Amino acid sequence: MKRTKAGLGFVLAVMGMMPRGGNAATTGGGEAGAADRAYQVQVMTRIARPVLEALSENKLKSRLPVRKWEKSRARFAALEITGRTLSGLAPWLALEPDDTPEGKLRAEFGGMARKCVINITDPESPDFGNFKNEEQPLVDAAYLSYALMRAPRQLWEPLTESQKSNVVAALKATRLIKPSNSNWLLFSAMVEAALWELTGSAEMKPIEKAVNTHMNWYLGDGTYGDGPELHWDYYNSYVIQPFLLEVLDVCKRKGYPLAELLPKVISRAQRYAQIQERLISPEGTYPVIGRSSVYRFAAFHHLAFMTLTRRLPQSLNPGAVRSGLTAVVRRMVEAPGTFDKDGWLTPGAVGNQESMHDMYNNSGSFYICLDGLIALGLPPDDPYWTAPAAPWTQKRIWAGEDVPGDHALYGR
């Protein structure tokens, strides 16, 4: 289905959030937050709609683009785009429908998302996902698991017993896949954490191994190795820190001893959140470094996760974090060539940049960017959305403001 790009003013007017006397970048107080939120909702729904419409109609595999360079990876695309889309959408869906324009959107998208969970896990569906052939399905099942845990009342509880059995069987099928000695350990842990939450039982060895191994891979100053060494990329944000915290949060809810590590892991995560906020330039850009650069603003998944879970360090102004993240999203989404003629995301960090893709990418890979929008899971009246717009750290520094110095997190 072809869709035209709506301008921010149109979206704000429809949602009843049109600020008076300015736009999202210039308006103060709660109006700025409402404008930022409306813009992010528009971005999220624009990206997710083609996926949810296709899969809810069991037409995803027939509609999803297959580019020449990804033919060897296309067999993974359906599950990959599903898990990544739903994981970013789920916190927003968890707010549940209401009578506001945004609440009505949640009702529409929640209904499609449930059908997507049902269809991707139904062995009789033409869009049934690949949950066990080769290694990649473990990654994609982990993101689907992440979504189920983030919005169980929307994506799990309404399912019939037969549909729930299909979901559980699909997730358990990934137990045949042995994760590499890297951030992939957390994918196995995430699947087991979801099974633990949804069914009450899980295999604990993958959880124990993932947590303990990453504790051994801590390198200092809020950063973990992806393996025993540091890689200059954003995998601490794409996967490592949010998944580690999510798994440990489940351990805490279940009264499992690993939860004793949470204070230490949260302290490290808060330092990494400070670093992430400082990566945003005054212009709303950031250094595009390392593999998976086509994941766009998923590079800030961790900062969004810390916002969603209300764990931002006190040194960070919520209004500044929101303003900075919105600026990054705007720069990336509005770059020419970001979407193809049918509304699907193209490969690239800033527009269509096919040479930036990695050998493990397919057309579904880019949808992990939606995890950069998970702060939409906070309600509109949360202080994150009502705080006045504020300049983020680099904007203050490059404007000549006398900003307190930055300091490393010492100790392990």
In a domain, 114, yes or no: yes
Let me know: does 160 contact 109? Beta carbons within 8 Å.
Answer: no
Rounded to an integer, the average pLDDT of 124-151 is: 97
Domain membership of residue 20 (yes or no) is no
Buried b (16+ CB within 10 A) or exposed e, 55-71: bbebebbeebbebeebe
CA dist 363 and 67 (Å) reads 8
pLDDT of the residue at 235: 98
318-333 and 301-308 helices, crossing angle to 10°: 140
| Residue 158, in any domain of the structure | yes
Confidence (pLDDT) at 260: 98
- The answer to whether 151 touches 94, Cβ cutoff 8 Å, is yes
Question: Encoding tokens for residue 227?
Answer: 């393996």
Rg of the Cα atoms in the chain = 20
- For residue 14, pLDDT beyond 80: no
Q: Reduced to 3 states, what is the DSSP secondary structure of residue 367?
A: helix
Average pLDDT, the chain: 93
For the residues of 293-332, what is the DSSP string, one character each? GGGGGGGGHHHHHHHHTT---TTS-HHHHHHHHHHHHHHH
According to the model, what pLDDT value does residue 3 have? Answer: 40
The span from the CA of 240 to the CA of 280, in Å, is: 20
pLDDT average, residue stretch 14-29? 40
Q: What is the DSSP letter of 223?
A: E
Backbone dihedral region for residue 220 (phi beyond 0: left; psi -120 to 50: alpha; all else: beta): left
What is the predicted pLDDT for the residue at 12? 42
Residue 346: domain span? 48-395
Number of domains in the chain: 1
State pLDDT tens for residues 293-326: 999 999 999 999 999 999 999 999 999 999 999 9
Report pLDDT for 198.
97
389: in domain: yes
Higher pLDDT, 63 or 21: 63
Query: Model confidence at 28, in pLDDT bands (50, 70, 90)?
Result: low
Backbone angles phi, psi at 105, to 5 degrees: -65, -40
Asked whether residue 149 is assigned to any structural domain, the reply reads yes
Q: What is the pLDDT of residues 221-232, one digit of tens each?
A: 999 999 988 899
The answer to whether position 21 is within a domain reads: no
Average pLDDT over residues 147-176: 98
Q: What's this model's pTM, rounded to 2 decimal places?
A: 0.92
63 assigned to some structural domain = yes
Integer Cα distance of 80 and 282 in angstroms: 33
**Per the domain annotation, does 412 fall within a domain?**
no
Given this model, what pLDDT does residue 29 score?
Answer: 58
Domain of 66, CATH number, reads 1.50.10
